[in-house]
Amino acid sequence: MTEISGSDVNKILEDKEIYDSQVKKLEIENNNKANVIQGIVYKNSNPSPIIIAIIIIIIFIVIWFLYTILLKPVLSGKWLSNNKNIWMMQHNIFNNNVCVRIYNGKKLIERGSAYFNDNIFKYGNKIGIWNYSDNIILLDGEGNLQRIK
């Protein structure tokens, strides 16, 4: 049997302390790496609900804008009434207001603003229905307006 001297015991204790300190360092490094990886995963997880709401609102605004610019029917242009007056209309497609000027030949006889919603046209006391095929039928018996191409 081998006897262990005091110097051997001290050397073994020192080696154990070195080993323990290295193990602690490795544990700390592994914890730090785990925290870094967990932070990366957390940052790349689901986005904030506020960001999702903002993205949805932006999408709806873009869809509305594209509809308004590209697809919405427009009243702008020249229209001819039954009594041969020319109605010049300028349609603001964003708020549905229509600027109306009525000419008898070259003479301006009336001007004002109208409101247009869906296919209902209202100018002063005149109310009409636009059938989207270049005709506005006035409901008070004054006839209709037909778009001049």
Please report, for the chain, the start and end positions of each structural domain, with discontinuous segments joined by +: 6-70, 77-147
> Percent of the chain at pLDDT above 90?
14
Beta-carbon count within 10 A of 100 CB: 20
141 dihedral zone (left: phi>0; alpha: psi -120 to 50; beta): left
Task: List pLDDT tens digits, range 71-111.
Answer: 888 888 898 988 888 889 998 888 888 999 999 888 888 88
Are 10 and 4 in contact by the 8 Å Cβ rule? The answer is no
Residue, of 12 and 57, whose pLDDT is higher = 57
pLDDT at 5 (0 to 100): 67
The model's pTM = 0.57
Residue, of 4 and 36, whose pLDDT is higher = 36
Beta bridge partners, 140, equal: none
Q: How confident is the model at residue 117 (pLDDT cuts 50, 70, 90)?
A: confident
Amino acid letter, residue 80: L
pLDDT above 90 (res 60): yes
Residue range 60-72: average pLDDT?
89
